Amino acid sequence: MIVTYPHMGYMWICVKAMLEYLGVEVALPPPTTKKTLLLGVKHGPEFACMPLKLNLGNFMEAAELGADTMVMAGGCGPCRFGYYAQVEHAILQDLGYRYDLVVLEPPEKHIGELLGKIRQITGNRSWRQVIKGINFGYKKAWAVDDLERMAHYTRPRELFHGATDRAFKTALAEIVAVRQPEELPAARERAMAIMQNVEIDEHRQVVRVGIVGEIYTLLEPFANMDIEKKLGEMGVEVDRSIFLSEWINDHLFMGFGRNVRSSKEALKKAVAYLGHFVGGHGLETVGNTILYAEKGYDGVLQVLPFTCMPEIVAQSILPRVSQDLGIPVMTLIVDEQSGEAGLITRLEAFVDLLARKKRFREGLA
Amino acid sequence: MYGYLGIDVGSVSTNLVMMGEDGAVKHSIYLRTRGKPIEAVQAGLKMMKSALPSKIQVAGVGTTGSGRHLAGVITGADIIKNEITTHAIAASNVVPGVQTILEIGGQDSKIIILRNGVVADFAMNTVCAAGTGSFLDQQAFRLNIGIEEFGPLALQARVPVRIAGRCAVFAESDMIHKQQMGYNVEDILAGLCEALVRNYLNNVGKGKEILGPVVFQGGVAANAGMKRAFEKALETEVIIPPYFNVMGALGAALLAREATSRKKTDFYGFEVAEKDFKAGGFACDGCPNICEVVEITESDRVIARWGDRCGRWSDVLEQKEKIS
């Protein structure tokens, strides 16, 4: 059995660590590229959202590396994603790929259903081992997220163009290379040190922008056309509303981890505007926009894949939030047709708007 | 005498403005880009040089429009800015207190909302170009009238015909239908203007609070029929600034003045017009992304590259202005 799973930003690092720790052979799809997208667009239904197309491309490329078992997340909300595992599997079968499908989703009747699925992948390793493996993966996700947060801080302040990106790459390699849980703390220290060595100008004026929206397009730099990097280079310190480790803590560990930002806070805030679960991260998008406004951020960017229902619901509510709380909000919709030039022009104009507004406000103060 | 040069390289037109230290326009040039932005910039510079007194000294250069990076690299611009910011800057300088800017250019249309002199909100057409200059151009051509006559003719209309404006293709077939029915050209033209205004307000201006003073700029503002259709739909006076078709370039010049207030200009001089620039490209084979890298060369020396996602090619060259 050779297991593969689709990409979503740096998720591969934590899942690979977990599976390999448990002795499962993994064939990682090559990094998501234009070729991946082309494969997905060619064989996927046009009106499915971009994540489906990229997943499909990932699986096709992984099959070339010998993968025979695909692991996908499932779900049971109004978001179509819950059904993507089955749809993707069916398309792949029609194309002649022979994949065994394992869907990890919230159990319908009994926790045993989920445990059974995990057994399918991990074989007869003890549950103690499995839990240790999951914890190892979680710790890696946590380390990667910390590095990303540091990159968000240093990128707009770096003295030399590209210094943050170069440091991030080497720091990430430190985390990726760790194979045993005991080695992780030391590697984490080394990676943090690399990031701290990026020369920055701490007094530089930066604009602060919160990024909200659909989880896949937020986490996958290919899908959002490196929006964090682009903003960082324009002098914007970004904060992303969703990090993988926070998501794991919220959804798999039921929020047991301490001192971890939780989406519960956002959900509470959203109630004033949207009192109903709409699937995906629609509620979180509304709630986080309110939180960013309260924390004094200069603006909020919403990113979603074209045809994403939960985010469309949120999009129609955001203008009111923006007006009530006085925080500029811009929505960016991405799919395979998105042009980079148009994105850059809009981002630039939005950042200019925020910077001028900030200067104007500070001039009055 | 010092002057500030603003260059706006758009999809349809390339505009240049020479602005004095006081912000007044000394000379403006409106050229067709014709898909050759480098040549258009060079031709514009040549015309600008011959039109100006020889004692004028360029103290700053700004570029804008979709070809802003290209124009910035070949002229040595002090500032490279997107067209939304430059249009807003120019309008608020020409019409102090402006609260709404309607801008319709060759292939894009935008609305910019200003409050207290600061951009508060903006929107651009996303997936549809119905209602932009190119469409009007094409319809004028179809009706066999010059684009210059379009406006005056539309003003003569007595009963504007209602034309479907949701989509340029449907608008065209509806217009042909109305022609076959025997409506006169003036009423059809006026109807077309109203349809485009409806489309603009529904698509671009959707949900925006349009308060006066309202400024209408961009190439399409030359069309008096469009001005009247806007006034009718908004029930307010619409101001067309004197240099409505070069406002982007004027904004770039204003920003160049700001950018050079404490430094010397990087402008390479009007000799740029004589230099031999070439834009080439190649597909990088470093990874399956196969980025199409654009390379600008000046007499076989590479002066700029962009288009690569990872920075493999663009980072190699030292650049004054980061190409975002």
HEC profile for B160-210? CCCCCCCCHHHHHHHHHHHHHHCCCHHHHHHHHHHHHHHHHHHHCCCCCCC
Cβ distance B324 to A345 less than 8 Å, yes or no, reads no
Domains B2-87+248-274 and B96-240 equal at CATH topology level? yes
Integer Cα distance of B122 and A348 in angstroms: 12
Residue A68 has, within 13 A of its CA and on its CB side, a CA count of 5
Q: Which of A238-242, B90-94, B167-171, B297-301 has the lowest mean pLDDT?
A: B167-171
* Cα(A211)–Cα(A216) distance, integer angstroms: 13
Average pLDDT, chain A: 90
- Structure confidence by residue, pLDDT tens digits, B135-152: 888 888 888 888 888 888
Kindly state the greatest CA–CA separation across chain A: 67
pLDDT of amino acid B23:
85
Q: Which residues of B touch A356 (CB under 8 A)?
A: 118-119
Tokens of B95: 């019409």
Give B105-129 pLDDT, tens digit per residue: 877 788 998 887 778 788 887 656 6
In this prediction, residue B126 carries a pLDDT of 63
Tens-place pLDDT, residues A298-336:
999 999 998 899 999 999 999 899 889 989 898 888 888
| B contact residues 5-24, partner A, Cβ 8 Å cutoff | none
* pLDDT > 60? residue B324: no
Query: A95 CB contacts (<8 Å, ≥6 apart)?
Result: A43, A60
Asked if A328 and B121 count as a contact pair (C-beta separation under 8 A), the reply is yes
pLDDT digits (tens, 9 = 90+) for A182-198: 999 999 999 999 999 99
Given a contact cutoff of 8 angstroms between Cβ atoms, the answer to whether A10 and A32 are in contact is no
Which residues in chain B touch residue A353, judged by CB atoms under 8 angstroms apart? 85, 118-122
Asked if the bond preceding A310 is cis, omega within 30° of 0, the reply is no
Q: Which of A162, A344, A353 is opposite residue B324, by nearest beta carbon? A: A344
Inform me whether the C-beta atom of residue A349 falls under 8 Å from chain B C-beta atoms: yes
By CB atoms closer than 10 A (0-12, 13-18, 19+), residue A207 is buried
Which of A345, A360, A361 has the most B C-beta neighbours within 10 Å, making it the best mutation to test the interface with B?
A345
Q: Considering only residues 112 to 141 of chain B, which have any Cβ-Cβ distance to chain A shorter than 8 Å?
A: 116-122, 124, 126
To 10 degrees, the CA torsion angle through B227, B233, B237, B243? -30
When pLDDT is averaged across residues B239-262 and rounded to a whole number, the result is 90
pLDDT classification of A258: cutoffs 50, 70, 90: low
Q: What is the pLDDT of residue B323?
A: 43
pLDDT surpassing 60 at residue B11: yes
**pLDDT exceeds cutoff 50 at B322:** no
Query: Which residue reads 């701490």 in tokens?
Result: A202
Sheet bearing B100-104, strands edge to edge: B118-124, B109-115, B100-104, B214-217, B238-239
Pick A255 or B250 by higher pLDDT: B250
- Sign of the C-alpha dihedral, residues A273, A276, A278, A284? positive
DSSP strands (E only) in chain B: 2-9, 13-20, 25-32, 57-64, 79-80, 100-104, 109-115, 118-124, 214-217, 238-239, 277-283, 292-298, 301-306
- The first and second tokens of residue A90, run together, are 């069916």
> What are the boundaries of each domain within chain B?
2-87+248-274, 96-240, 276-324
Answer with the residue of higher pLDDT: B105 or A175. A175
Provide the 3-class DSSP secondary structure of residue A122: helix
Which stretches does DSSP call E strand in chain A? Answer: 2-4, 25-26, 69-73, 100-104, 207-213, 236-240, 299-305, 329-334
What is the nearest CA distance from B120 to chain A, expressed in angstroms? 7
Architecture of domain B96-240: 2-Layer Sandwich (3.30)
Report yes or no: A230 at the B interface, CB cutoff 8 Å: yes
Q: What is the rounded CA–CA span in Å between residue B250 and residue A45? A: 47
Tell me the β-bridge partners of A300.
A210, A329
At residue B131, the pLDDT reads 66
Please give the pLDDT value at position A256: 67
The domain B2-87+248-274 having CATH identifier 3.30.420.40: the answer here is yes
H or E element that contains A40:
helix A34-43
* Contact residues on chain B for A342, CB-CB shorter than 8 A: 124
Partners of residue A344 in chain B, C-beta under 8 Å: 82, 324
Tell me whether A166 touches chain B (CB under 8 Å): no
Nearest CA in chain B to A37: B289
CA atoms within 13 A on the CB side of B317: 18
A106 contacts chain B (CB < 8 A): no
Q: For chain A, how far is it from start to end, CA to CA, in angstroms? A: 64
| Residue B118 distance to chain A (closest CA, Å) | 6
B311 contacts on A by Cβ (under 8 Å)? 162, 165
Q: In Å, how far are A163, A206, A222, A235, A345 from A153, measured between CA atoms?
A: 13, 10, 21, 10, 23
Token pair recorded at residue B66: 């979709």
The Cα–Cα gap between B311 and B251 comes to: 30
- In angstroms, rounded to a whole number, what is the distance separating the alpha carbons of residues B250 and B86? 8
Cross-chain residue pair A345–B84, CB shorter than 8 Å: yes
Q: Does A161 touch chain B (CB under 8 A)?
A: yes
Contact B250, B273 (CB under 8 A): no
For residue A124, report the phi and psi dihedrals to the nearest 5 degrees: -100, 35
* A38 lies within 8 A of chain B by CB: no
Q: pLDDT for A132-169, tens place per residue?
A: 998 999 999 999 999 999 999 999 999 988 899 999 99
Contact B118 A35 (CB under 8 A): no
Compute the distance between CA of residue B238 and CA of residue B228 in angstroms, rounded to an integer: 8
